Amino acid sequence: MKCILKINVACLLLLFYSCNYIPAESNKETEKRSIIFAQGDKNTTQNFNGEVWVKSLIDADSLNETAVGNVTFAPGARSKWHSHPAGQILMVTDGVGYYQEKGQSKVILRKGSVIKCPPNTPHWHGASPDTAFVQLAITSRTNGPTVWLQTVTEKEYRD
């Protein structure tokens, strides 16, 4: 009787581990799938620190004044402080990053996080120190272009 019980337990354990076994190839497929939108070109403006890639997906025009861009931050890379006259929506598609409004605590963002940044509110966004970060930036141009401010200091980034 004890022997049968042991065999049953062994079978259950085998079943458990076989169900939870994920082959290495599946992990690779997951990594590939996480790239949803094109990475675009490396940023050459002075509006960011560190390596950043920007792909414009939708340009604002007279009928729809909302622009959509895919922004990829290498680990540690971030925007300067800036504000948007009509606010901004951020939708995180991959990685781990930060968002901070002036005078507020830094918010940690992960894949699936969504941020609604109010109009004319100084803030910055970027990657965490060890993980790249990918976000869609949805920005209305109704009240004018982004206003770029000072660089995020190391202390502000770390705090």
Q: Which residues bind Mn ion (CB under 5 A)?
A: 88
Which residue lies nearest Mn ion, judged by its C-beta?
A: 88
Q: What's the CA gap between 142 and 43, in Å, rounded?
A: 24
User: Tokens for 19?
Assistant: 């169900």
Nearest to 137 by CA among 46, 2, 47, 25: 47
CB closer to Mn ion out of 121 and 131: 121
Q: What's the CA gap between 43 and 46, in Å, rounded?
A: 8
Residue 27 C-alpha from the chain's centroid: 20
CB closer to Mn ion out of 49 and 88: 88
Residue 20 Cβ vs Mn ion, minimum distance, rounded to whole Å? 40
Residue 83 Cβ vs Mn ion, minimum distance, rounded to whole Å? 8
Residue 36 Cβ vs Mn ion, minimum distance, rounded to whole Å? 20
**Residue 42 CB coordination number (10 Å):** 11
CB closer to Mn ion out of 72 and 88: 88
CB closer to Mn ion out of 88 and 140: 88
Q: What's the CA gap between 156 and 159, in Å, rounded?
A: 5
Residue 84 Cβ vs Mn ion, minimum distance, rounded to whole Å? 6
107-110 and 123-127 as β-strands: parallel, antiparallel, unpaired?
A: unpaired
CB closer to Mn ion out of 94 and 123: 123
Residue 19 Cβ vs Mn ion, minimum distance, rounded to whole Å? 43
